[in-house]
Amino acid sequence: MADTPAVEPTRQPTIDGAAADRALAAARRRYADRRPNSARQAEAAARVLPAGSTRSVLDFAPFPFRVASADGAVLADVDGHRYIDFLGDYTAGLLGHNPPEVADAVRAALERGWALGAVADDEHRLAELLCDRFPSIEQIRFTNSGTEANLMAISLARHVTGRDRVLVFDGAYHGGLLYFGAGGTALQAPYSYVPCRYNDSRSVADAVAEHGDDIACVLIEPMMGAGGCLPADPAFLADLRARCSRHDIVLIFDEVMTSRMSTGGAQLRLGITPDLTTLGKYLGGGMTFGAFGGPAATMAAFDPARGGSLTHGGTFNNNVMTMSAGAAAVERILTAEALDRLFERGERFRPRVDDVLRPVGMSASGWGSLLAIHPVPGPITGPHDLAGFDGRPVELVFHAMLERGIYLARRGFVALSLAITDDHLQTFVERLEEAVDELVEHGVVTPALSSGAPA
């Protein structure tokens, strides 16, 4: 069994709460003062959209970041400011903005017509490309989002096993209806869940011992994305794979984010094959996209010719724009060489970020081209290591970086795109050094009292 290794507990750096509040209030004022057009448009949008948007992750005080245009790795807001985009639309923007290969494919497809109400060649082509890449996928179905893909995969697992319960991990996010962190319960899809601790094989073993005969599937990200870019220990995943096999539990890898780790995602890089895989984000070329797939025998549940009884509707599952954009992206841009190069670039970049943060008791975690900034020193093995800690230093870093022309998530999430260059990475590190110096200058953190925790 792969038990979680003993590590020194994560500690909160010394934070002056009053200083943090003053600095954050000042940062929000500067944000608003520099963006009068954004402020006016946010006020108008809030009359018809709750919080002024339709995507909660984009909501923050005093109002959301509003973009006018994007190209390559650069964003321009409605007030004329330009930024290097280190958010990459929460991984969906892996290709960079406006890649010509995708734009040309979409224009050509639209000239042939859309909203067809029928199948078309690009649907078959994209399915072939993805089945060729992922070890676990022999057949695939398309959806409109990663959320839909995960819901379909769970439902398929419950159907083929005849069991009801779903083993999940505290703090995990698998879409708007499958969020297991704070505030997610009210909107959870009405399955029966068995919650466990991420990276904790003992927790899983106990859950399977108690509920194994009722557990249809395990749903897991090989690296928690929204949970803080927290990679699963390969030994933990290997133990999970073996345990699922012994108990006839369907292992679902949510690779909506981690599919970028190689042409065959995390499963190919790790050599651990799940029973079902869910996909989303950039594999649709930046268009609305999701997919789920697995062995042909399992996917036969959707094939009446093979005795399948399940139906899977969705007007836009095979929409012309996504199918053409996805086929172009996967075939022409997302080569093994390009993805491996981006993975290695991220592996070199993350330690540089962590080196800047460590003296003030903060850290960076992640894998490949995805990372997150945390208000605590490492090591961080799961969301349980982040519970209850003060997030204000990370929000202050976000504002400081935005003022210096760097866009990342307010929660400290960073997703490198193929358009990001080595010069961009150097600029990020330099601006982060300035942001951290600002935290110290404002008295938010005290390096002499915050350092010394393990990296």
Contact 329, 167 (CB under 8 A): no
Q: What are phi and psi of 318, to 5 degrees?
A: -115, 35
| Residue 364 β-bridge partners | 373
Instruction: Based on the residue annotation, tell me whether 282 is a catalytic residue of this protein.
Output: no
Q: What are phi and psi of 202, to 5 degrees?
A: -65, -40
DSSP 74-91: EEEETTS-EEEE-SGGGG
Residues 6+ apart with CB under 8 A from 171: 180, 181, 198, 224, 227, 228, 382, 383, 384, 386
Whose tokens are 């006839």? That residue is 248
Q: Which two tokens stand for residue 257?
A: 């984010």
Contact 279, 149 (CB under 8 A): yes
Residue of 31, 83, 90, 173 marked catalytic:
173
Residue of 198, 281, 282, 385 marked catalytic:
281
| Residue 373 β-bridge partners | 364
Residue of 85, 122, 200, 254 marked catalytic:
254
| Residue 294 β-bridge partners | 139
Q: How far apart are CA 125 and CA 130, in angstroms?
A: 9
Instruction: Based on the residue annotation, tell me whether 281 is a catalytic residue of this protein.
Output: yes
Instruction: Based on the residue annotation, tell me whether 71 is a catalytic residue of this protein.
Output: no
Q: How far apart are CA 167 and CA 203, in angstroms?
A: 11
Q: How far apart are CA 344 and CA 346, in angstroms?
A: 5
Residues 6+ apart with CB under 8 A from 325: 102, 105, 106, 284, 285, 286, 287
Residue positions annotated with a catalytic role: 173, 254, 281
